Chain A
Amino acid sequence: MPEGKLCNRQPVTTLEQLQALLADKGGKQYYEEMNRLEVDDKALWDLVQRTCKSRIRTWLEICTHCGLCAESCFYYLANHKDPTQVPAYKIQSTLGEIIRRKGRVDNAFMQYTMDTVFAKCTCCNRCAIYCPLGIDTGVMASYTRGLLFSQGFTPWEMKIGSGMHRVFRAQMDVTTEDWVDTCQWMAEETSEEWPGLEIPIDRENADILYTVNAREPKHYPEDIAQAAILFHVAGENWTVPSEGWEETSLAMFAGDWEGCRQQVQSVYDAMARLKPKRMVVTECGHAYRATVIEGPYWAGLPTGKTPVETLHYVEWVAEALRTGKLKIDPKRKIKEPVTYQDSCNYIRNGGLAAAARYIMSQIAEDFREMGPSREHNFCCGGGGGLNGIGRYREQRNVGLKVKRDQILATGAKLVVAPCHNCWDAIRDLEEIYRIGIRWSFLKPLLINMIEVPEHLRPAEE
């Protein structure tokens, strides 16, 4: 069978295709079809020749096989130093082979490659800062995911996720109507307690355009309400767009670059339509990576920057604390030992370690760094889409051990994790390993400790 009904080389572009994939519980039929999916080696090699230029080719060629990348990789550490988990091995035996064989690879090889670049690499890019030659295996694994996607070899959930972006411009089936309704519902409900609170939709020329992760309207609408409370207390002139509100990109995890472009373009279109001064992204790492760090390139913006200046949520919080827009009640600071999960996407790959430290210095009395921390921190174990792929759940769970041990070593029972993937991974590691910790985004913590000006006090107070 050259191509399957569900597992094929075509990206999902219609609701019907999405529904067919979703109806295939666990991807049973999808993976059966994948076993028979033929590799179009000519197209594969053609794509490599068009897109694999000197940066990646040089990395693959001059890697001296010194093995320093081994200990940089949490998968290597979590798997008892299994040599097949060394980043250099993982990429040389996959992308390196595709290039050496000029694209002439078979189905089994493509599945091995998929299993490697999805279940043995979260594209956390930590190896890049430990390699003497600056070789970034995470970048190459991500590139390889793109090659795999073009050939239909992508995990079932990633196919669905990228399809969601193409159909809904969101990682989940949240329509414009759903989103607007959720905002209105949250505004209505929250304003009962916080008189005057609004969630302004499509307000032009606002100081802040606030954008989110689709999980928030879908599963955690209270997160939007919390954001609204904090903006309200800080006195911000803010808005959300009715369209172009989704920052995440499962398409990025899948390697569906056209899907990525379509998704970020919807956000940039919202910027053009509403002309905000700045944009603030919710507490999500990969959303920030996709829309702020990588997005401008997918959209072809030569400056490499978003059309309007963009802040991650931690930058906004740090700024609000510095400028006094948000004031912490010293009595309500976190007293217990607390640690912070540095997200790969906005800390290592986004440079925001200092903002996070400033926030912790303001809200916690006993802040404890993980070891290593900041740009050198380990991935939570759930990055790169791993949290959401059933096929690789076991490998993901093994990978979580490194984070578990890092957290245990701090002695803290509370982990601040302003990133959806980190938050999920830490929740799951507690569920699996039972180490007695709690985890939190910043918003709920801040709401409990900010000083609220008299005129904004909740109605019942």
Chain B
Amino acid sequence: MYEFVTGPLAWLAFAVFFVGNLVRLVRYVRGLDWKLDRVAYGAHPAHGARGALRSILFWLIPFGTHSWRNNPGFTLLVFTLHVGLIFTPLFLLAHNILLEERWGFRLWSMPGWLADTLTIAVLVSAALLVLRRIALPEVRLITSAYDYALIGVAAAPFLSGLIARYAYAQSEFWLIVHVLCGELFLVAIPLTKLSHFVLFFATRAQIGMDFGIKRGGMKSRGLQW
């Protein structure tokens, strides 16, 4: 079973993840229409590129935009969550050992204490974000079961990873649960709104080009995000 979930099933999950995300990106770009969107995407490449880059970069910086600064607690949680979600699985020692065993290469590995810290940070920030959804009426109203489920899908590999590492270190069952959770997360990314993993860059680039080309970018130093 362990061989299967870390072998063929892992291949499948990664295939869906990579191909799926690529398809999402390509479909997004192909669906852009200068006439319907009313943005001359291709006519002003320099302004478009500048607008897109500014739009992405400012939002990737914690407290880099008005919106992030207006909501410091939320910003902290969101950045903590996303840093943990992205960097922990990539640079976890155990993952890289497995990677080397199976595919013959490995990435830099972070020390165990850092991985543990990031994992706990993911779980804590996910829990607080759930509480925020429940506590704030303006967020509660727009939150659906689907939103909670996706937070669960994102957090599950981290929770099961902690359990597999500490609570049941010798348990293959928990290891398999952890791997399956990870694979579910990978597959869910292109197939759900977790696709903002790649589409964040696409929609941010689009709105950046929109403001950069059409809505004032040619007559100003650029929108102060």
Whether chain B is bound by chain A comes out as yes
What is A's interface to B at a CB cutoff of 8 Å?
51, 53-55, 57-59, 61-68, 70-72, 76, 81, 83-84, 86, 88-89, 92, 125, 128-136, 293-294, 296-298, 300, 302-305, 315, 347-354, 372, 374-376
Complex interface: chain A residues within 8 A of B39 (CB): 297, 304
Q: Tell me the minimal C-beta distance from A149 to chain B in angstroms.
A: 16
Are the CB atoms of A134 and B203 closer together than 8 Å?
yes
The proximity string for B residues 75-96 relative to A, scoring 1 for CB distances below 8 Å and 0 otherwise, is 0001000000000000000000
Q: Count the A-B residue pairs with Cβ separation under 8 angstroms: how many?
A: 161
Complex interface: chain A residues within 8 A of B29 (CB): 54
Cα A70 to Cα B133 with chains together (Å) = 13
Asked whether A132 and B32 contact (CB < 8 A) given A67-B139, A86-B142, A293-B215, the answer is no
Complex interface: chain A residues within 8 A of B28 (CB): 54, 58
Are the CB atoms of A294 and B38 closer together than 8 Å?
yes
B110 within 8 A of A: no
Residue of B nearest to A90 (CB): B142
Cα A128 to Cα B223 with chains together (Å) = 11
Chain A facing B: main interface SS: helix
Complex interface: chain B residues within 8 A of A347 (CB): 216
Please tell me which one of the listed residues A65, A305, A350 contacts residue B216 in the complex, with CB atoms under 8 A apart. Answer: A350
Q: Tell me the minimal C-beta distance from B59 to chain A in angstroms.
A: 6
B contact residues, total (Cβ < 8 Å): 61
Please tell me which one of the listed residues A51, A65, A304 contacts residue B144 in the complex, with CB atoms under 8 A apart. Answer: A65
Cα A334 to Cα B50 with chains together (Å) = 38
Complex interface: chain B residues within 8 A of A132 (CB): 59, 67-68, 78, 200
The proximity string for B residues 205-225 relative to A, scoring 1 for CB distances below 8 Å and 0 otherwise, is 011101101111111110111
Are the CB atoms of A67 and B193 closer together than 8 Å?
no
Q: Tell me the minimal C-beta distance from B104 to chain A in angstroms.
A: 35
Please tell me which one of the listed residues B32, B137, B214 contacts residue A54 in the complex, with CB atoms under 8 A apart. Answer: B32
Please tell me which one of the listed residues A53, A84, A128, A349 contacts residue B36 in the complex, with CB atoms under 8 A apart. Answer: A53
Are the CB atoms of B66 and A59 closer together than 8 Å?
no
Complex interface: chain B residues within 8 A of A51 (CB): 36
Cα A70 to Cα B207 with chains together (Å) = 19
Please tell me which one of the listed residues A55, A62, A92 contacts residue B196 in the complex, with CB atoms under 8 A apart. Answer: A62
Complex interface: chain A residues within 8 A of B141 (CB): 83-84, 86, 89
Complex interface: chain B residues within 8 A of A129 (CB): 66-67, 223, 225
Residue of A nearest to B206 (CB): A55
Complex interface: chain B residues within 8 A of A304 (CB): 34, 38-40, 43-44, 213-214
Are the CB atoms of B203 and A62 closer together than 8 Å?
yes
Are the CB atoms of A64 and B196 closer together than 8 Å?
yes
Residue of B nearest to A51 (CB): B36
Q: Tell me the minimal C-beta distance from A143 to chain B in angstroms.
A: 9
Please tell me which one of the listed residues B43, B195, B207 contacts residue A303 in the complex, with CB atoms under 8 A apart. Answer: B43
Cα A43 to Cα B36 with chains together (Å) = 18
Complex interface: chain B residues within 8 A of A350 (CB): 215-216, 219
Residue of A nearest to B219 (CB): A351
Please tell me which one of the listed residues B30, B34, B216 contacts residue A349 in the complex, with CB atoms under 8 A apart. Answer: B216
